[in-house]
Structure 1
């Protein structure tokens, strides 16, 4: 059906919301089945295992890059209007926010998107952490934490345009980005073959990444057929989580858009994935120590995501797939913060050493 006809009939907000719902549901299903998780990938990297979790993350990341760059070179998308490229950015915010997000990701045993996926699978730890993440993100956006965010962001500012576009800065262009993505896709295939795993590791990982490309392509299609200003965007979970919080707590509610459908879509898709894979299971906290850990982790992630301009998916993959300079710096910070936190908090205690804090047991998120 003609996009212009849909927009004229239902309006830009409703069309974007339905697109977010469908793309989000597919993302949630693929992410649940593949167990896509940046936190798990960083742990394998820092522990020098290079196994299945890294393979899934690389399949997702490279599929997103290849998909987005194919849209660009075939003239089905233009990223110059994307917020991550066109708006003024903060390199200090990207780095500090990325590190804080990485710290929180280890403490909560999952990034923002993973918490949403696990919540739909019956994980009450993830549900509480996700709610605290949303509250903190809103506080950092327009609440009590906003002055802190603005101060850190002002330390090192970068103008929008070519200075925020790595492909423009390096002169590589879209074809260079496509080749880069294909190289990493081959590397992902190598790790996937070496680590073994089943059907869903391959299909789920690639499908998760392609949903990021689908989000970019869909929002650009709507924007190109609309007479109103429509943001060109894709998957992210910090901003939409904060928006949904304000829909519940405040009136008037934020305008309907892509994020309106994304959050319930991911939840629904993940729930279907858990039902298909018989993974639904109610889980709670084991003790007060683990609860405190998750709460502090969610706070770090919420503030870090708003400071970095997005979460592990929003900045790391969505922003990374269009080669936004700040997104790549945020992603590097996430890997660094996760590695340092894992080493300081979760590494095994030396033999014979006494610990004042309750022991930390590594469990699946």
Structure 2
């Protein structure tokens, strides 16, 4: 591939992922898709509607990702979440921190991006602080703690830390069958659970449609990153890689580390080494999609903090999300939908931590009021 062809492909990938993220942001705002809101509804109201919405998103993404892997459209070993090492302590602790933080910050990174598009200055502050905390955990002061005390505690596995590979290794079953059974079986089960009848049919249909669109966007991102963006030989390094991603591997949607990279790109925009990447385009697309929705619905409205206590709570939540999201290697979208759609064992640990941390913080806040 010539340098000109490489640049053209990278530009195409960035434009398409921006458009996909725009659809994702529009759909999330229209359907009120929010993992923190789903957990809050269950804890406070025993309302499972938005949890079913999340189940629909994961089920669709899981079936879609499984189909892509079996078809050969995505080399699962080249994805960001594929590794023989399982840093279980990082996934758990990071998930706990992120879950608690998103409650304090009124939503996860994705939710705050959609709120920013609707005019929330609170979300802007949360995203700025979350991005700074995330960058510090990638390369700064909190990165030292993460690397020394958390990432160093891990299990070395004989295969990739993905459920189909582990099942095939443990039972001797063909990997194709293990992936087909687990991916489509679990994905289909999650979709069936989401379709469980509940009062409020109109609300249910709208929410589940939104969840399905989220799942389809994640599936499309896997196809774009794993099939369209694949480069057999980089024109300069001659390495096999995937265009436009920060890691050079296959990525989907995640919204903690990409916010940090967006801040880095904006702050050092004139530095030619700072390139526009997949994650940055995704962040911009999410804000654009939610802004389009706010203008379409005519509900764009500037919003600020109620008081200093509200500000302090959101700042603490943003720090916890930035540290936790990087430590867990993903957020409620990165681990909670993208990674789990590949049946990553680490994502299951991270999700358990996120749900536990969010639930504990919700109950603490309820008890302190």
Name the TM-score, length of structure 2 as normaliser.
0.87
Match of 1:353 in 2: none
Q: CA deviation digits over 1:63-109, x for unaligned, max 9?
A: 11121112223332221111211364411100000000000011011
Task: Give the drift of 1:175.
Answer: 3.1
Paired with 2:100 and 2:52, the residues of 1 have a C-alpha distance of 22
Task: Give the drift of 1:187.
Answer: 0.6
Match of 1:182 in 2: 188
1:304 to 315, 324, 332: 324
Paired with 2:139 and 2:328, the residues of 1 have a C-alpha distance of 15
Flag the 1:170–1:132 CA change in 2: closer, same or farther, 3 A: same
Paired with 1:14 and 1:226, the residues of 2 have a C-alpha distance of 17
Is the counterpart of residue 49 in structure 1 residue 46 in structure 2? yes
Is the counterpart of residue 94 in structure 1 residue 91 in structure 2? yes
Match of 2:34 in 1: 37
Contact 1:238 1:302 in 2 (8 A): yes
Contact 1:247 1:253 in 2 (8 A): no
Match of 1:245 in 2: 263
Contact 1:243 1:254 in 2 (8 A): no
Name the TM-score, length of structure 1 as normaliser.
0.88
Unpaired runs of 5+ residues, structure 2, are: 169-177, 235-240, 243-248
Task: Give the drift of 1:163.
Answer: 4.2
Unpaired runs of 5+ residues, structure 1, are: 350-358, 360-365
Task: Give the drift of 1:190.
Answer: 1.1
Kindly report the root-mean-square deviation, in angstroms, between the aligned alpha carbons of the 2 structures: 2.3
Paired with 2:167 and 2:135, the residues of 1 have a C-alpha distance of 35
Contact 1:237 1:311 in 2 (8 A): yes
Is the counterpart of residue 278 in structure 1 residue 286 in structure 2? no
Q: CA deviation digits over 1:189-212, x for unaligned, max 9?
A: 115666650653232221011111
Match of 1:22 in 2: 19
Match of 1:352 in 2: none
2:366 to 317, 335, 346: 346
1:75 to 72, 77, 80: 72
Paired with 1:23 and 1:103, the residues of 2 have a C-alpha distance of 29
